Structure 1
Amino acid sequence: MLAGILTIATNQSYGDGMVSTMADVVRLPKYCWGTQLIRNITNDPVPISKYVEIYGKSYMHLHHFCWGLDFEYRAMRSLNQVERNFRLSQALGNIDYVLTYNRDPHFVFLPEIYTARARILFMQQENSEAVRALQQAIALKPSYVPAVSRLSGYYKFAGDNAKAMQVLKEGLLHSPNSSLLKKRFAALSSGADAQTPTASKPD
């Protein structure tokens, strides 16, 4: 098993995508279907130039984020810890590729990308860096519920209820109708356990 993983590592410097069939594609968000290379599987009829017009030039790099999500999925289902760690590093490498080459501070997918980055970092026990990624997501979009919920959950898990509550209060100011944030707020107020940030599956 380890020899096979090392062979993959030689061929995939930071984790070239393993998405090759529709069974792989259907696990990904629909916006992935029109991205570079993945569109060769889906036969998306919309010209990629149209997506670039809608989302900006950084859409040309978004297939790496989609590959990252696929690697995260594969990591979560790896029975071998060495393989799991390797897949997580591939996921993070692809996500960081998008962030490195993004030149649009208003790229609409950034909050989701930073939140996915945080998920992987939590799984790698890189909690401080994961928190920074969530804070970046929230700074870009204060109403982005997945980031707010995960950050509050982390502080609750870490035993800092005051910070957890503050994150939820600020999140509810921007997303007052979020049933998830209201549920978390009620649970925290009553002293009930909040879900930890490492417990959820890929978005």
Structure 2
Amino acid sequence: MIRPSFFLVCAMLFCEAASADFKPQNVTAGEMALLPEYCPDTQGFQYGDQHYNTSPRAAYWVGLMGKSFWAHHHYCWALIYINRAKAAGLRPQEREALYRWAINDYRYVVQHSTPDFVLLPEVWTRMGEAYVLLGANGSAFEAFGAARRIKPDYWPPYVRWADVLARLGKRTEALAHLEEGLQRMPTERALIEAYERLGGNHARFARSPRAAASAASATP
């Protein structure tokens, strides 16, 4: 990977907002293979936007995602930056710059999408994960919270934030946070596994009055 010295200097001088305009350079076939299926059809890879050189599959993705698809190339860029940050031999400043660029691209998607965009919970969760990697736990908490508010029955932000709490030594808080998720999604395997990994007794929790009341309220 070419080290983006100019962009790195920019990021370190708090030019993060401008960095969202920078498409990742020298993207390889291997990097593209790691992206979601729709990414090659977003603008900026081999196709243009909705008006010029549009991907022949764009209509299919717009049918699934709505017009917000036309902002989602920034999500694909962010994933590339996060994957590049995993490379060995990077200086801490370089890795931090990649995290910041990814966060800016995630935020671009949020700001240029409709409130009902189906992938917004995933985007907010990814943003939270990037903040965790950056060591900005307060911002991660806000991002995970945004994902939960949009889609309360989406399990990843519950598990991701519980992982942060556990690493901080706040096991009781982590279990309580997972219990909040389990009240909404009592059979979600990822939540159950995370709960039991932290020493929680899921069978006992499932029999608790609080869990029973939650299940009853969720029954149509």
Shift of 1:150: 0.6
1:171 offset after TM fit, Å? 1.4
Give the partner amino acid of 1:82.
Q
- Whether the 8 Å CA contact 2:166–2:174 is kept in 1: the answer is yes
- Among residues 52, 65, 72, which one is paired with 2:82 in the alignment? 72
Q: CA RMSD in A?
A: 2.9
> What secondary structure is seen at the aligned counterpart in 1 of 2:64?
helix
| Range with greater deviation from structure 2 (59-68 or 81-90) | 81-90
Displacement of 1:147 after TM fit?
1.1
Q: Deviations over 1:54-110 (max 9, x none)?
A: 2111110000011001001101215222211121121112111111222x1111111
Instruction: Give the direction of change, closer, same or farther, for the CA distance of 1:39–1:106 in structure 2 (3 Å limit).
Output: farther
Larger RCO, structures 1/2 (Cα 8 Å, 6+ apart): 1
C-alpha contact (below 8 Å) 2:47/2:55 kept by paired residues: no
Structure 2 counterpart SS, 1:189? coil
TM superposition score normalised by structure 2: 0.74
Establish whether residue 57 from structure 1 lines up as the match of residue 64 from structure 2. no
**2:104 is the counterpart of 1:93:** yes
Structure 1 residue 45: Cα displacement: 6.4
Correspondence 1:13 to 2:19: yes
Q: CA deviation at 1:37?
A: 2.4
Q: For residues 107 and 136 of structure 1, what CA distance do their matches in structure 2 show? A: 13
Gaps of 5+ in 1: 192-203
Indicate which of 86, 94, 103 corresponds to 1:83. 94
Kindly indicate whether residue 36 of structure 2 is the aligned counterpart of residue 29 of structure 1. yes
Max Rg structure: 2
Q: Which of 167, 178, 193 is equivalent to 1:183?
A: 193
What is the TM-score with the length of structure 1 in the denominator? 0.79
How many residues align? The count is 188
Do 1:19 and 1:38's aligned partners in 2 also have CA atoms closer than 8 Å? no
Instruction: Name the structure 2 match of 1:156.
Output: 166
After TM superposition, the structure 1 = structure 2 runs for residues 109-128 of structure 1, keeping only pairs within 5 Å, are 109-128=119-138
Post-superposition Cα deviations, 1:88-137, rounded to whole Å, max 9, x if no partner, equal 121112111111222x1111111111111111111111101101100111
Bigger drift between 92-101 and 172-181 goes to 172-181
Identical amino acids, percent of aligned pairs: 27
The aligned amino acid for 1:33 is: P
Instruction: Return 5+ residue gaps in structure 2 as ranges.
Output: 11-17, 49-53, 202-220
3-state SS of 2:72 partner: helix
Counterparts of 1:54 and 1:34, CA distance in 2: 13
